[in-house]
Amino acid sequence: MKTPSPSPNFPTAWRTLRSAPASGAHNMAVDATLLDQGRDRRYGVWRTYAWERPTVSFGRHEAVQTRFDGPSLAAAGLDAVRRPTGGRALLHADEVTYSVTIPIADRTPWQAVYAEINDILLSALRALGVAAALVDNTTASPMRPDGPVCFDHPAAGEIVVGGAKLVGSAVWRERGAYLQHGSILLRNDQARLGEAMRVPATASGVPAGAATALDACLPVQPTWTLVADALELALRTTVEHRHAGELSAQPVSLDAELLARHEMRFRDPAWLWRR
């Protein structure tokens, strides 16, 4: 049997973190804190979490003021937060949210890490019985920079079922650390984004059939815990069998002061409505 060899793009040591449902600001603050601590760690962190309330998240540099505002979000019963990563608006509601933070060398292309993580997501979904596939560069059409929402269009490397997007991901690389996080939809609520727009959209800007969810892919909808377990098992298999590494049971510590500073930033309306 061929002995697995470590990948230069992927840590060989990993830990997992499961977080209780929290506000958008707290969830983004935890991911940002893990990113900041990531450059000094020698291991990767795989986190799974959920949301206290349905929350719209905007991409770091996304221009949203022409489409959303505080009253329109409140009228739709939605909270809002701006992510530390790129991408476009999406609704976090009935889903499993994941995040991955790792140290990354300057010479490592972020696309290589992105591909490794998406392979793990794909393996987990297939283990659940989902007929999922990755969108490759030859079949992906260009992303529209003015596209309204995340789930209106699958990009290269993202996960689809029958051409419909199942997982939406966003990334950010900063000073020797990498963050990727995203949503695995248990149920497709993305049309609710249309209700939250200043000028209501009939279908939230998401073309019919552009997005799908696990309840449409499986005869029985899996629970949040079942999906989180599948993700961690796929991570363990990849780390131990492909990269000769180890998934540790040790806890992940967060710098409380750093976490508080980040949460203050994500709660600041000046950050949320910066564009």
Out of 90, 130, 149, 150, pick the active-site residue: 150
- Supply the pLDDT for residue 144: 46
Q: Which residues contact 152 (CB under 8 A, 6 or more apart)?
A: 205, 206, 207, 210, 211
Task: Return d(Cα 192, Cα 169) in angstroms, integer.
Answer: 19
Question: What's the rounded mean pLDDT across residues 52-62?
Answer: 96
Q: Which residues contact 219 (CB under 8 A, 6 or more apart)?
A: none
- Supply the pLDDT for residue 10: 83
Fold of 13-272: BirA Bifunctional Protein; domain 2 (3.30.930)
pLDDT band at 196 (very low <50, low <70, confident <90, very high): confident
Task: Return d(Cα 248, Cα 95) in angstroms, integer.
Answer: 26
Establish whether 150 is a catalytic residue. yes
How confident is the model over 233-270, as pLDDT tens digits? Answer: 999 999 998 888 999 999 999 999 999 999 999 999 99
pLDDT band at 157 (very low <50, low <70, confident <90, very high): confident
Give me the residues paired with residue 174 across strands.
177
